[in-house]
Amino acid sequence: MNLYVHVPFCRSKCKYCDFTSYPGREEFIPAYLQALEREILSLSNLKCEINTLFVGGGTPSMLSAAQIKQLLGIIRDNFDCSGLKEFTFESNPESLSKDKLEALLDFDRKTRLSIGVQSCLDEHLQTLGRIHSTADFLEKYALALMTGFENINIDLIYGIPGQTVKGWLVELKKAVELKPQHISAYCLTVSPETQFGRDGVAVNDETTAEMYRGAVEMLTGAGYSHYEISNFALPGYECEHNKNYWRNGEYTGIGCSAVSHANAARCKNTVSLEKYIENAGTDKIKEETDRPGAESKLSETIMLGLRMRSGMELTPEIHSKYAGVIDGFVKDGYMGVAGGRFFITPKGFFVSNRILTEFF
């Protein structure tokens, strides 16, 4: 099983954030943890072996050390964690502390800590609505290393209003110099329901394309494998949980707004915090179920699989339907075919959106 647990609490809503998160509602955390346990106890696959575990949000590091131990204890008591290959815990610098870091390592000495840095320049952090400073991040990064973490991911955003190509590369260089095992570099996206969306913030496609090219060049030059469109890892540190998503694999989602994928269907929990807490453990928390047809499922599988540098198997079904599309992109140097697989080339990654839409 690949398990995702959603913790929807945060201290403040960032201007770009379109995830399900609730700022300033910490008083609900104890009831929420109880609700998570009720939902887990209602599952039919209790005691099954967990392959990967990902605790995301929101800001999971908002939980106290005792609450982190409680959450992880619920998981350990109800699932077989003996074969756990990867445990990722999302965090923000302002809410990390030594006792929380120790609680994570007590659960799994190989915990993968993901830190939402987003920028290494205070000016851009303020633009994004982040509540930590660069100094906060550097302090907590050093603390994580001192506590014993050996697998750290840094999330960064480019395309921030006021950010230049040169400035972005300076920020990225600062991150690379820290030598984290993994770096995720995401282009800013502006959703209508966010503060940026309401403010009419626009992203310059030409500028962000230059930023992306510069990031790929710098990160691959520093020894990071560009294994997915937005993700870079040192050897042996690719995110296994996310790779299961990109392979369109099955997973179980627990918590408010969490999504599960099993038996060719996706089911989403309610986004309402109150409704989730009240009804966890019953079918009342299930709000959406999607069971795509064979054609839609194939398109989805291709669009997800091609996000990875390794691509995917070129099955007879895919070849018969998309041979012309694939051949055209191969001719242009944007795709390759080898060993029974087809994939986007490094050149093609720069126009990946254009490529992926041809399969939908």
- Predicted confidence (pLDDT) per residue in 262-317, tens digit: 988 999 999 999 999 999 999 999 998 888 888 899 999 999 999 999 999 999 99
pLDDT in tens, 24-69: 999 999 999 999 999 999 997 778 999 999 999 999 999 999 999 9
Structural domain includes residue 11? yes
pLDDT value of position 281: 95
> Residue 152: how many CB atoms within 10 A of its CB?
21
% of the chain surpassing 70 pLDDT = 100
State the total domains in the chain.
2
Q: What is the CATH number of the domain that holds 302?
A: 1.10.10
> Do 66 and 142 sit in the same domain of this protein?
yes
Average pLDDT score over the chain: 96
How large is the average pLDDT for residues 116-132? 96
> Do 239 and 95 sit in the same domain of this protein?
yes
pLDDT value of position 44: 75
Structural domain includes residue 258? no
> Do 298 and 211 sit in the same domain of this protein?
no
Residues of the chain by 3-state class (helix, strand, coil), percent to 5: 45, 20, 35
pTM for the predicted model, two decimal places: 0.95
Structural domain includes residue 147? yes
What spatial distance separates the first Cα and last Cα of the chain, rounded to whole Å? Answer: 28
> Do 338 and 241 sit in the same domain of this protein?
no
Q: What is the CATH number of the domain that holds 62?
A: 3.20.20.70
Q: How far is CA 231 from CA 11, 29, 278, 319, in A?
A: 27, 31, 37, 28
Query: Going by C-beta distance under 8 Å and a sequence separation of 6 or more, which residues neighbour residue 201?
Result: 15, 161, 190
pLDDT value of position 181: 99
Q: Which domain-ending residue is among 212, 246, 280? A: 246
In angstroms, the CA 178 to CA 65 distance is 26
Q: Which domain holds residue 299?
A: 294-357
Q: What are phi and psi of 21, to 5 degrees?
A: -150, 150
> Do 218 and 342 sit in the same domain of this protein?
no
pLDDT in tens, 135-178: 999 999 999 999 999 999 999 999 999 999 999 999 999 999 99
